[in-house]
């Protein structure tokens, strides 16, 4: 990543990256930032870059949560983090063949368009291979922050791997973890 041009925007995955993953969460009261997440997002803003969220929410397609519940959770995330410049949410199930569900590029491309930046000048930070795959499919750079659910092959496929979210943002903004 050291030879690449620095980004014009940073996109974050929601569950397991920005906030603690509560499967199919429809309750804003259950939203808790991941360790270092508030600091990490603030660092991107301090650098003068727009920030966005790209989030698969298949619970909508499965009938587990409603779009209104997902929107309420997203509003709570906005409240805690000071608002995001764009939200892209895929409401589809894994077998629907949409262009937005990560690892497809749709949400990354739409977020970049909404922010007025080239996807190739965008960094996607997430915790699983689908986040990395969506970044690659859109021509963006991926930084992976592994969690207990991240598989080893997902770590190997990432452009860069960080121990935590603040380190991921340092990589995104400077090209290295230092």
What local confidence, expressed as pLDDT, does residue 6 receive?
A: 83
How far is it, in rounded angstroms, from Cα 132 to Cα 139? 11
Average pLDDT (40-51) is: 97
Task: Decide if 15 is catalytic.
Answer: yes
Q: Which tens digit of pLDDT belongs to each residue from 58-115? A: 999 999 999 999 999 999 999 999 999 999 999 999 999 999 999 999 999 999 999 9
How many other CB atoms are found less than 10 A from the CB of residue 110? Answer: 18
Q: Which tens digit of pLDDT belongs to each residue from 101-160? A: 999 999 999 999 999 999 999 999 999 999 999 999 999 999 999 999 999 999 988 889
Query: At 23, which helix (H) or strand (E)?
Result: none
How far is it, in rounded angstroms, from Cα 90 to Cα 152? 25
Catalytic residue selected from 15, 21, 127, 131: 15
CA 159, 10, 133: angle at the middle one, nearest 5?
40
Whole-model pTM? 0.94
Q: Are 85 and 50 in contact (CB under 8 A)?
A: yes
* Domain ranges (residues) in the chain: 9-174
Q: Are 56 and 96 in contact (CB under 8 A)?
A: no
CA 23, 24, 30: angle at the middle one, nearest 5?
75
Q: Are 144 and 158 in contact (CB under 8 A)?
A: yes
How many other CB atoms are found less than 10 A from the CB of residue 157? Answer: 15
Domain made up of 9-174: CATH architecture = 3-Layer(aba) Sandwich (3.40)
What local confidence, expressed as pLDDT, does residue 177 receive?
A: 57
Least confident of 23-32, 52-61, 99-108, 168-177: 168-177
Catalytic residue selected from 13, 21, 127, 131: 13
Whether pLDDT at 28 is above 70: yes
pLDDT category of residue 166 using cuts at 50, 70 and 90:
very high
Task: Decide if 164 is catalytic.
Answer: no
How many other CB atoms are found less than 10 A from the CB of residue 5? Answer: 10
């Amino acid at each position: 990543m050291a030879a690449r041009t620095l980004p014009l925007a940073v996109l974050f995955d929601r569950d397991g990256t920005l906030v603690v993953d509560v499967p199919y969460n429809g309750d804003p009261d259950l939203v808790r930032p991941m360790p270092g997440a508030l600091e990490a997002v603030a660092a991107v803003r301090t650098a003068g870059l727009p920030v966005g969220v790209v989030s698969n929410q298949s619970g909508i397609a499965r009938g587990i949560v409603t779009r209104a519940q997902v929107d309420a959770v997203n509003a709570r995330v906005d409240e805690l983090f000071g608002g995001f410049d764009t939200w892209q949410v895929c409401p589809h199930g894994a077998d629907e063949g949409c262009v937005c569900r990560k690892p497809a590029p749709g949400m990354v491309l739409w977020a970049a368009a909404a922010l007025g930046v080239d996807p190739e000048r965008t960094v996607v930070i997430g915790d699983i291979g689908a986040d990395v795959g969506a970044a690659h499919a859109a021509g963006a750079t991926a930084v992976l922050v592994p969690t207990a659910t991240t598989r080893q092959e997902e770590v190997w496929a990432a452009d860069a791997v960080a121990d935590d979210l603040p380190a991921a943002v340092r990589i995104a903004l400077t090209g290295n973890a230092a």
